[in-house]
Amino acid sequence: SSSGGGGDVIGVGGDAFDPSNLVRLLLYGANLGQAERSAVQGAAGAANVNRVWVSPNTAVDPAAPTAADAVQECFLVAYSHTAIECVSAVQTGAVWVDVGGAQSNAELFLFLSPVLGLEGEPGMTPTESATEGGGTLTIAGERLGDARDDVNVTVGGAACPIIAYEVLAPAEGSTVASARVSCRIPPGQGRQREVVVMRRGLAAAPMYLDYLPPEITSVAPAVVNTDGTTTVTVRGYNFGLAAEVLFDRTMLPATHGAGVDGHRRITFVAPASPQGGTGLDLGVRVGDQITADFATIAYAPPALDAATLAAAHTGPTEGGAPLVLTGANFATNGTVTVGGRPAVCGEWAHARIACAVPAGEGRRQRVVLTVGGQVAAQALDFAYDAPAVVAVSPASAPSSAVVANLSRVEAVIAAQAAAAAAAAAA
C-alpha cells in the first residue's frame, strides 16, 4: 500500500552493476511520478523532484526514517510513471520512491552473493565428468534465490541448464534461505573448468570441475600405408571438443564424430613416412590432458606388385643393368640387395624404385627389398647372363678369344695364348 500518495512499488529486480559493488535496481509500479525532474537531483526543497531512497534496514518506515536506518539515495538512470532504474551502493535492504515529498511503500531487495556449501553437504557434486557431459551437477548453498529462474550456472563458460530447484529450510540458528539446484553438465574438456553460480547477476565464489582424460579402446586399421593415404579410426572415451592425435611424436589434427559420438570416436589421416616402421606410439591429447596408456600402430611392409613379379630381371655380370620395382609401401628410402650385394637406387618413391644392379654372377640371385626393418614378403630373383664366347681370332692359329659374362674369371685369354705357344714349340 502507498503512504501519502507516493505511488505503489509492486516489484524490484536488478543485477550486479560493476566491480565497485554497485547494483542496478529496477522498480516497477504505478503512479511513480513524471519523467521530468530537477536538474539538480535531490536538491532540498526543489519542486517536482522525484527521488528513490534505499536503506539496509529491511524494517524501515519510509514515512519516518531515522538516522539508524542509514538511508541513502539510489541515483536515477531512467524514470517513468511505471518503472524506475537507479544505481545503489546498498546491496540488501528496502527501497521506496519519494514523489514530490510523498512516500511509496517499501519493497525489499537482496544482492548478497550466493554462498555454496551447506552443513554436511558440499557446494558441488560431482567434481569430475565425462567430456560428453550429460551428467547431473548438484549445487547446494545459501542465497540461491527463490525460484529456478533466479539461478544461472555455467561450466567453463558453457551453460549448465537448470533441471531441478529445491528450496531448503534455513540451517539451525540461521534466517538465510538455502536451496539445492541441479543442472545438466555441458560437453567440455580439460581440468579445473570454472563453475560459476550466479543469482540475478551476483556470482558465488567459483568452484572447479575436471573433465576426464582421454582413453583409447581400439585403433583401426592398426597397419597403415607409407604414402599418407590411410584414414584411421580411434575409439574410446573423453575425446572432448578438439582432440589431437600423437602419432610417433608428431601431433596431428583429428576429426570428431557428431554429438556424443564425437567424444568416443575420432579419425585422422596417418602421415606419409620416409622410412616406415613398426611399434609406433599412438595417443590422444585433449587440451592439457593426454592418454595414460598409448596404443601402437605400424606402417605396412613393402609389397611388390604382380607386374614386378612377372617380369624377367636379367643383366650382364659386370652390373649396371636396370632393376625397376613397383608396388606399395616403399616409403622414400630403404635398401635393395641382389644376391646380398647392395644395388644403387637413383629413384625411390612409395610405389616405384629404380636401381642399377651390382656386379655378380648366377641365375637365382635373390632380390631383397627392406623398408623400416620390414622385408617384402614376395620372392624375386635376378638372373645374371650366362658366359658366352662371341669371337675367336684367328680361328686356325693360337690366339686369344673374346668371351662375355665371365664375371670374376681372370686371365682366361692369357692362359689360352700360353697353351697355344707351348704346343707349337713341342
**Residue 379 and residue 329 in one domain:** yes
CATH of the domain at 191: 2.60.40.10
**Residue 59: inside a domain:** yes
Q: Note the pLDDT of residue 417.
A: 62
Is 252 inside a domain boundary?
Answer: yes
Residues 178 and 137 in one domain: yes
User: Are residues 98 and 24 both part of a single domain?
Assistant: yes
Domain boundary among 110, 136, 161: 110
End-to-end CA distance of the chain: 155
> How many domains is the chain built from?
5
Q: pTM for this structure?
A: 0.68
User: What letter would DSSP give residue 187?
Assistant: P
**Residue 45 confidence (pLDDT):** 41
3-class SS letters over 266-335: EEEECCCCCCCCCCEEEEEEECCEECCCCEEEEECCCEECHHHHHCCCEECCCCCCEEEEEEECCCCCCE
* 338 lies in some domain: yes
Name, in order, each residue with C-beta under 8 angstroms of 91's C-beta and a sequence gap of 6 or more.
Answer: 21, 23, 110, 111, 112
Choose one of 170, 195, 211: the last residue of a domain.
211
Its domain, for residue 171, covers 115-211
- 227 occurs within a structural domain: yes
- Residue 3 located in a structural domain: no
Which residues lie below 8 Å from residue 362, measured CB to CB, with a gap of 6+? 339, 383, 384
**Pair 395, 343 in one domain:** no
pLDDT of residue 19: 41
Q: What pLDDT is attached to residue 402?
A: 56
Same domain, 332 and 292: no
Residue 365 in any domain: the answer is yes
Give the pLDDT confidence score for residue 246 in this predicted structure.
Answer: 97
87 and 57 housed in the same domain: yes
pLDDT per residue rounded down to tens, the chain (426 residues):
233 345 565 555 555 444 446 778 888 888 887 654 544 444 444 444 578 999 989 899 999 999 999 999 998 888 888 888 888 888 788 999 988 788 999 998 877 778 899 888 999 999 999 999 999 999 999 888 777 888 999 999 999 999 999 988 877 776 677 899 999 999 999 999 999 999 877 889 999 999 999 999 999 999 999 999 999 999 999 999 999 999 998 999 999 989 999 999 999 999 999 999 999 999 999 999 999 999 999 999 999 999 999 999 999 999 999 999 999 999 999 999 999 999 999 999 999 999 999 999 999 999 999 999 999 999 999 999 999 888 777 766 565 555 556 554 444 555 566 766 777 776
Pair 103, 68 in one domain: yes
Find the CATH number of the domain harbouring 22.
Answer: 2.60.40
126 lies in the same domain as 206: yes
Nearest to 339 by CA among 379, 309, 301, 367: 367
Task: Indicate whether 2 belongs to any domain.
Answer: no
- On whether both 403 and 369 belong to a single domain, the answer is no
pLDDT at 38: 42
**What is the predicted pLDDT for the residue at 143?**
84
Q: Do 135 and 165 lie in a common domain?
A: yes
Q: Are residues 61 and 82 in the same domain?
A: yes
Query: Does residue 333 sit within a domain?
Result: yes
Amino acid at 315: G
Q: Report which DSSP code applies to 31.
A: -
Select from 149, 180, 211 the last residue of a domain. 211
| Helix H or strand E segment including 413 | helix 412-425
Clarify whether residues 126 and 207 are in a common domain: yes
